[in-house]
Amino acid sequence: MCLAKLLKGYDGWSTLSLRLVIAAVFLFHGSQKLFGAFGGGGIAGTAGFFGGVGIPLPLVAAWLVGSVEFFGGLAVLLGVFTRYAGALLSAVMAVAILTVHLKNGFSGGGGFEFPLMVLAGTLSLILSGPGKASLEKTLWKKEL
């Protein structure tokens, strides 16, 4: 039997694994930035790092990026406002690549390989939406 025929009807579920992994990454990093969880530096540490790499208004940027990562990750996990959260998270990743990771090369310590994969995942969520297993489908019977 052809694999495409066997899996017919499951295509709306394909984004679930992507959403779960993207959500885990952003919830983890957002909680490090906002709350100092998992050995993160919290807002003060994040602002210090941002200031050190030349990001303007580092304290404001720390709150903004931490909030986008944490609450955007939560939205992606639940599958609510997924495209909007994906757009904000994509912007965060693009800035991270340009300001921090690009100068370190593609792979290795601090390279842009991993952030680029995360950016690709967030862009995919913008294009595909949350899929069938989402609050958007459950609450509004459509993707927003």
Q: Tens of pLDDT along 90-105?
A: 999 999 999 999 999 9
Give the integer Cα–Cα distance in Å for 59 and 37.
18
Tell me the mean pLDDT in the region 16-39.
Answer: 95
pTM of the model: 0.91
Write down the pLDDT at residue 13: 83
Joined tokens for residue 29: 């990093």
- pLDDT band at residue 24 using 50, 70 and 90 as cut-offs: very high
Q: Tens of pLDDT along 116-128?
A: 999 999 999 999 9
Residues in CB range of 90: below 8 A, 6 or more apart? 119, 122, 123, 126
Q: Tens of pLDDT along 38-92?
A: 888 999 999 999 999 999 999 999 999 999 999 999 999 999 999 999 999 999 9
In DSSP notation, the chain reads --HHHHTTT-GGGHHHHHHHHHHHHHHHHHHHHHH-GGG--HHHHHHHHHHHTT-SSHHHHHHHHHHHHHHHHHHHHHTSSHHHHHHHHHHHHHHHIIIIIGGG-SSSTT-SHHHHHHHHHHHHHHHH-S-SSSHHHHHHSS--
Flag whether pLDDT at 3 surpasses 90.
Answer: no
Q: Are the C-beta atoms of residues 131 and 79 closer than 8 Å to each other?
A: yes
Write down the pLDDT at residue 1: 63
